[in-house]
Amino acid sequence: MAVSIFTAAFADEHRSRFRENARPSALLDVWTFLQRHFGSGFLGAYDQERLVGYALFVCSLGSVQRKATVTGEIFKWALRALVGRYDFQVSALARVVRNKVYFFCGAQRFRTHGDAQLLNVAVDPAAQGRGIAKVLVRAGLEAMSRQGVPEVRLEVRPWNTAAVKVYERTGWREVGRTRDLDGEWVVMTVTPSLLSP
Ligand SMILES: CC(C)(COP(=O)(O)OP(=O)(O)OC[C@H]1O[C@@H](n2cnc3c(N)ncnc32)[C@H](O)[C@@H]1OP(=O)(O)O)[C@@H](O)C(=O)NCCC(=O)NCCS
């Protein structure tokens, strides 16, 4: 269900990277792994028992990378991508990989404490504009604060005005900019313990 929200909310991005009618296998693999090992950061918003949005926080990006390496998952994903199991458009695959490398190389930039990250937030297009993203992000930050996480970081495209607004409204501040092959990212951070409940 969260995967179908992702594909609807990021429809343009999805179309540019995956073949038509692609199976969402890549997301399912990565999110199943995250849920199994880092499930406390996976938050869902429900409307009459139907999932309408999610946010995905991790307390430490480094531990995700280490876990993916020691369990061998990262190699499994790479192999599946290479043999075409993820339905990536061949022309987009190299770009996706290079952008991920930029992401991981820049992951420590502009940080002052730790390596917690807000990886993704999305709301079903039919449920957008009702404050759901703000509630999800605030709930995630409260959970981070309870776990003693000193600072959380995220990147957002400067032209994603809806997302930038959500983050500004939930206490995040821009600390710098970085870029990859598709353009600029705004880097934002927040100190969860300083936010009022
Ligand atoms: C970004 C997203 C999660 C926002 O979800 P949402 O539930 O509609 O957001 P909210 O209703 O909580 O809105 C929060 C604020 O953003 C504003 N906002 C929402 N959509 C907006 C838009 N398209 N343009 C400008 N502001 C917008 C709201 O007015 C609100 O501001 P307010 O506090 O002044 O009222 C949603 O648009 C989405 O899923 N986008 C695609 C996925 C994505 O880009 N995720 C972020 C990746 S970094």
Instruction: Compute the distance from residue 37 Cα to the ligand 1 centre, in Å.
Output: 29
Instruction: Compute the distance from residue 121 Cα to the ligand 1 centre, in Å.
Output: 10
Question: Which residue shows structure tokens 């993916």?
Answer: 68
Q: Do the Cβ atoms of 165 and 186 come closer than 8 Å?
A: no
Task: Say how many CA atoms lie within 13 Å of 182 toward its Cβ.
Answer: 19
CATH topology of domain 2-194: Aminopeptidase (3.40.630)
Q: Is the CB of 81 under 6 A from ligand 1?
A: no
- Indicate left, alpha or beta for 167 from its phi (over 0: left) and psi (-120 to 50: alpha): alpha
How far the first Cα of the chain sits from its last, in Å, is 29
- Residues 65-112 have pLDDT tens digits of 999 999 999 999 989 988 888 877 777 777 878 888 888 787 778 888
Instruction: Compute the distance from residue 70 Cα to the ligand 1 centre, in Å.
Output: 37
Q: Report the mean per-residue pLDDT for the chain.
A: 89
Cα 24 from Cα 121, distance rounded (Å): 17
pLDDT band at 43 (very low <50, low <70, confident <90, very high): very high
State the closest ligand 1 atom to the C-alpha of 160, by its place in the atom list counted from 1: 44
**Where do the domains of the chain lie?**
2-194
